[in-house]
């Protein structure tokens, strides 16, 4: 299809601007939520210790990476009291531990931490503990490692830019390799392909430099820190980014070799064509239909070129899948290839859409896009969307965990927004397929000639890249030459129509050189195709932006598991004991169920339920509980249970030591009938790992 008129370019520019604004809005969204969540700490948050601990230990829901500033402990005077390297406790990758200095003073201490979760996102936080008497005034938690920094925002933006570069690089290449080889001869599409490669390479370099400040929460000045860059390169994400740069360098070298070879071949073909034209007689200017050689600017891609392109595309997609959400969680061996397919399908579909849009609106005047090329891309895009749907459903199930998470988590809300955007894209794609089908079925105006009669055809004059379908007929002389990539003969199927506009004179050239009135229905189909493809491309950019935010958001399944683990760690399993009794009177038997929550050293809530002989809940006028630690000769401690009209309860029982405590329970059922019984209960120590 020839270049769109100038008046049709303005709506396209407006659509692209809207897409760019939406992309910046989504790409500059808040800081990424990380996968790992703190579940336990020793000392515990807000705990009061009698003696100073020797170290600080944290436990997370998944393996975490540590750096020099991952754990910092500040004294009541806001001085660092941690010492030595930060290590994993007991070799467990899901823990972090740092030693403390000796002779710590009484008061409240602050622990500030920042680690990198297994899916490459940093997570940070802070808590306090006290030694002896808590401080009257606690130093503010330092803000040296915030989640929302300039480095983190820039890192998120360039992640989106990298996705866009990948889509352009793979999508434009596939469009040329599979759908329309002549597109490689068009300057705008070559620039788009080079732009995709350059964008991906430049954004990868920036991400590699920003990775260290992003992980540690430092300022942009840390980009120049060689030690920080060295640690980044040796990490998993840094290795993936480095591999991506090597793949891009290899792809660029092969593309340069192919381009140089193609230019030599094209130049040789032009010289041979010029020599043949000089030797022709005046009668040789009549070119018999079907005898035209392939255009010199139409590159032919062999199986080797397609196979090399496929390998490079797989390698590039793997550098994402191996370092993000697919690399953690459940079913990792299946999730990584599914993520690679999802990313490749996105790139083929979205990048191909941009290539087709550019060809429809920005190709040189008169460039003809064969209907077969558009039809091939339509089928390819349909396959890519089908792969996107299948892999997207699996990824959604893997990351959501439950339907309820669609409405209760940030990841679920973003996923619903993405589904809505994809639905709009599919609606636009349906219109594109309809216009393509109508154009493919549109009849051409031709004249019937005898098979034995030589047929004179128009030979398009070559102007730069592409050909003008509105050029005059060259009957002979030195101006004759092979047709350009935009010539209708570029179609592999002579029966297929080309998506060409009428020439400026109002006539449309036919295969025989005759002209006829323009088809108003064809014009309508062409305009409809341009609009629907442009809309589809802009909506695809929006989908890509939402996808970028999704990859930086904590999956719903991980969020729910982390919340459950954190709740369980904050509330350890309660200690429950059942004490039978018998006061020696009819129906004077029963049992008392006593629950100590959390059943460990420190403050405990005690609840006591009395059950009668029929196992139903019973009320008694008096219930008294004391506890004694025989080994340490502590007690008896009175629990001071209070009658709550159905059960007995207290929240102020403090047990100072772990181990076996003996309960003495006095149950009075009437004014004169009572009994005292005993039973042991085990109280756990505070967690220390």
What is the per-residue pLDDT across 9-34, written as a single tens digit (0 to 9) for each? Answer: 444 444 444 444 344 333 333 333 44
DSSP label at residue 495 = T
Query: What average pLDDT does the chain have?
Result: 74
Tell me how many helices (H) and strands (E) the chain has. 12, 23
Question: d(Cα 548, Cα 560) in Å, to the nearest integer?
Answer: 22
Tokens of 192: 């788009």
**CB of 604 within 8 A of CB of 654?**
yes
For the stretch 211-260, pLDDT in tens is 888 888 787 888 888 888 888 888 888 889 999 999 999 888 887 777 77
DSSP label at residue 653 = E
Q: In degrees, to the nearest 5, what angle opens at C-alpha 424 toward C-alphas 423 and 425? A: 90
**CB of 583 within 8 A of CB of 673?**
yes
Instruction: Tally Cβ neighbours within 10 Å of residue 489.
Output: 23
Instruction: State how far the alpha carbon of 45 is from the alpha carbons of 314, 346, 474, 606, in Å.
Output: 46, 45, 87, 22
Q: Which residue reads 């030591």 in tokens?
A: 657
Name the phi and psi angles at 41, rounded to 5: -145, 150
Tokens of 195: 């732009």
Name the phi and psi angles at 462, rounded to 5: -85, 120
Q: Which residues pair with 627 in a beta bridge?
A: 637, 663
Tokens of 452: 């034995």
The count of C-alpha atoms lying within 13 angstroms of the C-alpha of 68, restricted to the half-sphere facing its C-beta, is 7
Q: Which contiguous run of DSSP H or E holds residue 138?
A: none
pLDDT at residue number 364: 76
Question: d(Cα 607, Cα 594) in Å, to the nearest integer?
Answer: 6
Instruction: Tally Cβ neighbours within 10 Å of residue 246.
Output: 11
pLDDT at residue number 628: 92
For residue 350, what are the contacts with CB-CB under 8 A and spacing of at least 6? 167, 171, 537, 540, 541, 543, 544
pLDDT at residue number 251: 86
Q: What is the pTM of this model?
A: 0.59
Regions of the chain where pLDDT drops below 70: 1-35, 136-148, 262-263, 265-266, 269-270, 272-302, 325, 329, 401-402, 436, 439-523, 525-526, 548, 551-552, 554-573, 687-689
For residue 347, what are the contacts with CB-CB under 8 A and spacing of at least 6? 166, 167, 169, 170, 171, 313, 317
Residues in the chain: 689
Question: d(Cα 405, Cα 399) in Å, to the nearest integer?
Answer: 10
Computed from CA positions of residues 77, 82, 88, 90, in that sequence, does the dihedral angle turn out positive or negative? negative
Nearest to 425, CA basis, from 526, 340, 345: 345
DSSP label at residue 517 = P
Question: d(Cα 309, Cα 251) in Å, to the nearest integer?
Answer: 8
With residues binned 3-state (H G I as helix, E B as strand, rest as coil), the percentages for the chain, rounded to 5, are: 45, 20, 35
Helices 187-216 and 236-279, packing angle to 10 deg:
170
Strands 47-49 and 122-131: parallel
**CB of 60 within 8 A of CB of 36?**
yes
Question: d(Cα 671, Cα 585) in Å, to the nearest integer?
Answer: 13
For residue 103, what are the contacts with CB-CB under 8 A and spacing of at least 6? 52
Q: Which domains does the chain possess?
A: 6-30+151-279+303-447+454-504+517-559 (no CATH), 38-147 (2.60.40.1220), 573-683 (2.60.40)
């Amino acid at each position: 299809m020839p270049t769109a008129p100038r008046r049709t370019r303005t709506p396209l520019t407006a659509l692209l601007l809207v897409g760019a604004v939406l992309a910046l809005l989504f790409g500059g969204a808040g800081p990424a939520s990380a996968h790992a969540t703190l579940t336990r700490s020793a000392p515990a948050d807000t705990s009061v210790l009698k003696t100073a601990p020797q170290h600080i230990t944290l436990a997370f829901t998944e393996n975490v990476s540590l750096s020099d500033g991952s754990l910092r402990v500040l004294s009541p005077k806001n001085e660092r009291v941690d010492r030595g390297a930060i290590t994993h406790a007991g070799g467990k990758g899901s823990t972090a531990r740092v030693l403390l200095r000796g002779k710590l003073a009484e008061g409240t201490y602050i622990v500030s931490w920042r680690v990198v979760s297994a899916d490459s996102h940093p997570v940070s936080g802070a808590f306090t503990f006290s030694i002896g008497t808590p401080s009257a005034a606690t130093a503010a938690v330092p803000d040296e490692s915030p989640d929302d920094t300039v480095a983190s925002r820039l890192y998120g933006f360039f992640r989106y830019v990298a996705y866009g570069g990948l889509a352009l690089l793979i999508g434009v290449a596939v469009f040329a390799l599979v759908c329309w080889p002549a597109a490689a001869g068009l300057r705008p599409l070559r620039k788009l392909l080079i732009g995709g490669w350059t964008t991906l390479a430049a954004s990868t370099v920036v991400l590699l430099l920003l990775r260290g400040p992003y992980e540690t929460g430092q300022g942009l000045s840390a980009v120049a820190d060689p030690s920080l860059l060295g640690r980044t390169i040796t990490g998993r994400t840094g290795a993936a980014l480095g591999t991506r740069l090597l793949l891009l360098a290899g792809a660029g070298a092969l593309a340069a070799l192919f381009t140089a070879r193609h230019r030599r071949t094209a130049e040789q073909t032009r010289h041979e064509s010029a020599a043949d034209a000089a030797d022709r007689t005046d009668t040789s200017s009549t070119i018999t239909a079907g005898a035209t050689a392939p255009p010199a600017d139409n590159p032919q891609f062999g199986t080797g070129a397609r196979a090399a392109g496929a390998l490079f595309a797989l390698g590039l997609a793997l550098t994402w899948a191996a370092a993000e959400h697919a690399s953690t969680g459940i079913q990792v061996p299946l999730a990584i290839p599914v993520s690679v397919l999802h990313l490749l399908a996105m790139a083929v579909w979205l990048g191909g859409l941009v290539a087709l849009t550019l060809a429809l609106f920005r190709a040189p005047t008169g460039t003809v896009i064969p209907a077969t090329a558009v039809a091939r891309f339509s089928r390819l895009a349909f396959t890519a969307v089908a792969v996107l749907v299948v892999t997207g459903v699996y990824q959604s199930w893997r990351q959501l965990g439950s339907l309820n998470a669609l409405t209760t988590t940030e990841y679920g809300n973003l996923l619903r927004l993405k589904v809505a955007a994809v639905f709009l894209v599919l609606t636009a794609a349906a219109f594109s397929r309809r216009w393509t089908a109508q154009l493919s079925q549109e009849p051409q105006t031709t004249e019937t000639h005898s098979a034995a009669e030589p047929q004179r055809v128009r030979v398009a004059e070559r102007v730069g890249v592409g050909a003008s379908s509105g050029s005059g007929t060259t009957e002979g002389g030195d101006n004759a030459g092979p047709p350009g990539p935009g010539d209708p003969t570029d179609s592999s199927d002579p029966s297929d129509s080309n998506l060409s506009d009428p020439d400026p004179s109002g006539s449309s050239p036919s295969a025989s050189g005759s002209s006829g009135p323009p088809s108003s229905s064809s014009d309508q189909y062409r305009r409809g195709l341009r609009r629907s493809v442009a809309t589809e491309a802009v909506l695809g950019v929006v989908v890509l932006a939402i996808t970028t935010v999704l990859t930086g958001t904590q999956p719903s399944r991980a969020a729910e598991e982390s919340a459950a683990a954190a709740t369980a760690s904050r509330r350890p399993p309660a200690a429950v004991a059942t004490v039978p009794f018998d006061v020696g009177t009819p129906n004077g038997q029963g049992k008392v169920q006593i629950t100590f929550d959390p059943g460990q050293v420190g403050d405990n809530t005690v609840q006591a339920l009395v059950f009668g002989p029929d196992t139903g809940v019973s009320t008694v006028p008096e219930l008294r509980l004391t506890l004694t630690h025989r080994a340490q000769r502590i007690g008896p401690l009175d629990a001071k249970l209070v009658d709550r009209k159905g059960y007995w309860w207290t929240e102020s029982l403090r047990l100072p030591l772990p181990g076996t405590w003996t309960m003495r329970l006095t149950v009075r059922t009437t004014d004169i009938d009572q009994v005292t019984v005993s039973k042991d209960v085990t109280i756990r120590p505070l967690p220390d790992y």
